[in-house]
Chains A and B, each alone.
Chain A
């Protein structure tokens, strides 16, 4: 049986129909009653309600003992948001582990040129010892900042709190403030991102972004050039995604002043307030920064998505529409016309081998939504999806924001009160202009979330855990499962290809046009790999021997 026949055969086997209600019941069956009740609210069968998106519970505590995919607040702050900032020294105040595990493991690419400041290959830690836990670590922290400054003279040093720091009460913000004053030419600030705060990485994103907003944005008023100036918010340049988006923007003549925070520099953040539009990629990790930039500096924001070739084209058109300049509108169309043929050629090649296959995506706070675009372009259906750390608005859309309940965990995460900057607030568009653009179809401050874009009868599951993942794969038999490194090999042991959508399995970029082409080939490779046909040895497929073989 060749590979194509084998694939056809498996496709037929998978015709076994599952009912989403049965699947949900099966997922909950083994749980103790309390756990089952809680999980039931986080597992949603996507049904068309009358003009209403069904409600899901999200951004709530993980259940102790249930093997979660989630990480901690520190991971969201240091790993996700600040990790890609190449010319800021990230100093972790705590025992060695937290710094070690976040050292070069997130695949944020950066281009510092031949001799630019580049600290991302380094790992800095105060390596707290038991004496520091007992007597306090503030002196050691101040000394560490001084030692780094003496060695490398960075323009900025940021400090990250780990769990014990909050417990012993080290005042990292005062240490940072004092050291900033002492050093004079080094911006030192700190993050209270202890791992136990919040319920997931999401709290860490918020803590990081608040401090960037407070200590960095608007620090540099030196005018920045560019006819169409935007910031790209929530793009972390995993596997070079940001490079591909930069290439496309540049080709269109759009100037990206700052990317938050892939391939970013200190100076980009410092002058981000000069942009005329904020384009938000990952709604979950950064929408509040977009809001704050609008309130303080008058920069409107729109949601974009550069994952998927058609989504990329759509996003470029949105940006062009915003600037209302025919020259840009025409240029964007030219670029799309130039880029799409390679995309269409790749789809034409790959799609016959991927059409009709099914995918599951459980990742991040945006990716489980964005990547459905790429699967759709391959003719594949997403039968179940969910986020690791998103909130209800990422599932149901921003219209639920006013109704979100503030619970004990979210109350602990600071919300910055922002007012219009006295000198620098400048509305980029008048009320009338904004209204006219909205009337023409451009939506500001809008994100509709994942649920409305998924088909009826699909399963949307928040904070999926190890047990449910395994059950889902057993019951629904997807052709591909997407999550992170911790999930990868237990899924693949089941004989189902697993694609990492955090680290891309060392692949990428997958954003933009060239990225889309990469992704099509990658999915083709995964779902059609010969390796999945090797699970059984030949003698296991025909185990009954009727007689001993006789050599002739």
Chain B
């Protein structure tokens, strides 16, 4: 057994987190920053933070993750990291020449109280930031929230560049939240089908799913441009996908530029996608094209075709709040039973939303924000499930308890496809369903006795 020291009996833990279902803010800030065109993320802290985030993102995407660090030493930790950051600006613009540097803090620089905007001001004054270049500053203390919070904070920091000219530009801001590059692409495709002119930020498509051509470009074509970020202030409205990932940025645009904001769930599964499409249609004043309606019908068709394999199968889930809310709703809508749900990210609202979504479900539900995989495993030992949906770390539980696993979320370190095949939208729903059914039916094929083994399922 891989997790042989996990007892079935659940005891209260107040101090130790075991097998976390979250990580720290800065990695989320780094991922978000990669969605800005020509942007080099910069970690203001010890060089280990940057190394760890780059390694984790690299393992997930199998792509280069460029990012720089202030390389704090003991001296910088005592006297402040201003000199390190000023030096870093100079070196980065000389050597890598990005359009933008997106600086985020770490627990180290936060604890000593480095003030990024003040350092940026000084750098501007001293000519360390060349004309036409930008520096984004996000405060991302690792001891608050989770990687999701860090993503949100960096996206919120991007809104600093929004400008109001007084004339609306007819575009809709879409803040996609922490989804995969292909999901961002899919959201843009759906907007295209609807005829909605959108500004998507951040946008990692074309950055973290780049082709192999024999040339390395540190700054590929993808990513939201600074011009687009500026234009967000003149948009007709903002759709923020995900309360945890995107709402803060949308509210900030509302406050700053009077761009009305609607916060939606991330468009995973049928109902959440319906709400997304409906909101887009309303905000942009367009008609939903038949093409999108057909995609919706195809998803409904597949649910009905395979319903017997889904009905009342129990599922355990671990992941991030915005994703889990939509996923739980999707599972309930196809008559599956999501019975154990944990996120490491804090937020009482999460437990409340999950309780609402599962209120009519014919099974008891365990749900916890600020939970961990250790607790999830204990729940599973007490109430076994037919399927586990989580990031790669779930595979240790899946193997010990012999449960099929669908890898979904962050990070996925041992399988491929997440950067290419979207799970948002109706088409993404079909993909999710395919993954769930494949896992369940592969298990059935493995477990059925010879005399019961079937060709047609």
- A residues with a Cβ closer than 8 A to B are 30-32, 35, 61-75, 91, 94-105, 115, 117-119, 121-130, 132-133, 140-141, 143-144, 146-148, 150-152, 162-164, 166-168, 194-197, 199, 408-409, 412, 466-467, 470, 484-486, 488-495, 534-536
Contacts and interface: CB of A to CB of B under 8 A. Distances in A.
A177 to B, nearest CB: 18
B49 A91 contact: no
A133 B143 contact: yes
A60 to B, nearest CB: 11
Contact of A67 (B27, B45, B66): B66
B91 A101 contact: no
Question: Which of A71, A196, A470 has the most chain B CB atoms inside 10 A of its CB?
Answer: A196
B382 interface: no
B18 A96 contact: no
Contact of B216 (A95, A96, A101, A493): A493
Contacts of B215: 493-494
Given A167-B108, A485-B55, A124 B18 contact: yes
Contacts of A115: 4
Given A31-B94, A122-B374, A125-B17, 7 more contacts: A30-B94, A32-B91, A75-B52, A124-B17, A147-B15, A194-B46, A196-B76
Interface in B322-340: none
Contacts of A467: 95-96
A466 B66 contact: yes
B219 interface: no
Contact of B143 (A128, A147, A152, A534): A128
Contacts of A118: 2, 4-5
A75 B68 contact: no
Interface stretch (B80-88, B163-171, B311-319): B80-88
A65 B90 contact: yes
Contact of B20 (A96, A129, A164): A96
Interface in B9-68: 11, 13-20, 22-27, 42, 45-49, 51-56, 58-59, 62-68
Contact of B212 (A73, A162, A409, A492): A492
Interface in B207-252: 210, 212-218
Interface of B: 2-5, 7, 11, 13-20, 22-27, 42, 45-49, 51-56, 58-59, 62-77, 84-85, 87-92, 94-96, 106-108, 111-112, 141-144, 146-147, 210, 212-218, 344, 374, 393, 396
7 contacts: A64-B91, A65-B91, A96-B20, A96-B24, A123-B19, A490-B218, A534-B212
A68 B74 contact: no
Given A75-B48, A119-B5, A196-B46, A486 B87 contact: no
A32 B97 CA distance: 13
A72 B48 contact: yes
Nearest to B81: A64
B26 to A, nearest CB: 7
Given A65-B68, A96-B146, A132-B143, A163 B216 contact: no
A64 B89 CA distance: 9
Nearest to B83: A64
Nearest to B67: A67
Contact of A125 (B2, B5, B20, B91): B20
Nearest to A125: B17
B214 A495 contact: yes
Question: Which of A97, A129, A166, A167 has the most chain B CB atoms inside 10 A of its CB?
Answer: A97
B154 to A, nearest CB: 15
B68 A66 contact: yes
Question: Which of A121, A132, A162 has the most chain B CB atoms inside 10 A of its CB?
Answer: A121
Contacts of B89: 65
Given A130-B141, A489-B64, A493-B64, A140 B108 contact: no
Nearest to B88: A65
B44 to A, nearest CB: 9
Given A64-B71, A97-B26, A163-B77, A485 B58 contact: yes
A74 B48 contact: yes
Contacts of A162: 107
A167 B24 contact: no
A197 B67 contact: no
A66 B95 contact: yes
Contact of B23 (A35, A100, A150): A100
Contacts of B96: 67, 467
A77 B241 CA distance: 40
A212 B107 CA distance: 28
A466 to B, nearest CB: 7
Contact of A30 (B13, B15, B52, B95): B95
Contacts of B141: 95, 130
Nearest to B143: A95
A535 B108 CA distance: 43
Contacts of B26: 97
Nearest to A491: B216
A484 B267 CA distance: 36
A535 B144 contact: no
Question: Which of B67, B77, B88, B144 has the most chain A CB atoms inside 10 A of its CB?
Answer: B77
A96 B142 contact: yes
Nearest to A495: B214
Contacts of B146: 96
A96 B49 CA distance: 12
Query: Closest 5 interchain pairs by CB?
Result: A72-B48, A97-B24, A65-B88, A65-B91, A535-B214
B47 A72 contact: yes
Given A123-B18, A127-B20, A408-B75, A488 B58 contact: yes
B65 A412 contact: no
Contacts of B374: 122
B348 to A, nearest CB: 15
Contacts of B23: 96-97, 100-101
Given A68-B71, A95-B142, A151-B7, A123 B20 contact: yes
Contacts of A100: 20, 22-24
Contacts of B142: 95-97
A494 B143 contact: no
Contacts of A121: 2-3, 396
Contacts of B5: 117-119, 122, 151-152
Contacts of B63: 489
Given A101-B55, A121-B396, A67 B64 contact: no
Nearest to A408: B75
Contact of A494 (B7, B14, B75, B214): B214
A103 B393 contact: yes
A163 B72 CA distance: 10
Nearest to A61: B73
B47 A147 contact: no
Contacts of B218: 490
A160 B389 CA distance: 31
